[in-house]
Amino acid sequence: MKTYAIASAFLVLAHVVPTPTLAADRIVTIVNETGYTMVEFYGSNNGTTSWEEDILGDDTLPHGESVDVNFDDGTGHCIFDFLAVFEDGDQVKQEDVDVCKVGTFTFN
C-alpha cells in the first residue's frame, strides 16, 4: 500500500510540474556566413514596435562563427523579427522568424 501512495504522488506531480520538453524551446543558433563581422544583432517579437537592446552587446560575431540566443522574453511569442548590422554598415532584416520551430538561422 505504501508503494501505491508513492506512485500516485509521483503521477500527480508529473502532471502538475511543467517539464522542459513541454515548454517551447526558443533558443536559436545565429550563424554569420556573410563574409563580414556582425557588430549588432537585434531580435524583437513582432508584437513590439522597437528593436529593444543589441543582443551582442560589446561582442561581435565574426564571419563563420555562431552564437546561441534565447528568445524567451516572457511574453510567450514565437514570431520574431531579426536585424543584423555588419562592420561595413549594411543591415539585414528578416521578419516573422518562428523561434519556437527554427533551431538555426543563418545570415549569408
Give the pLDDT confidence score for residue 66 in this predicted structure.
Answer: 98
> Nearest CA to 106 among 71, 54, 64?
64
- pLDDT one-digit tens code per residue, 19-62: 343 356 899 999 999 999 999 999 999 989 899 899 999 999 99
Dihedral sign of CA atoms 82, 45, 100, 23 in order:
positive
Q: What is the pTM of this model?
A: 0.76
- pLDDT one-digit tens code per residue, 60-107: 999 999 999 999 989 999 999 999 999 999 999 999 999 999 999 999
Across 75-93, b (16+ Cβ under 10 Å) vs e yields eebbebbbbbbbeeeeeee
SS3 content of the chain, % helix, strand, coil (to 5): 15, 35, 50
Q: What single DSSP character describes residue 61?
A: B
Q: Which CATH architecture describes the domain 23-107?
A: Sandwich (2.60)
Phi and psi at 74, nearest 5°, equal 85, 0
Boundaries of every domain in the chain: 23-107
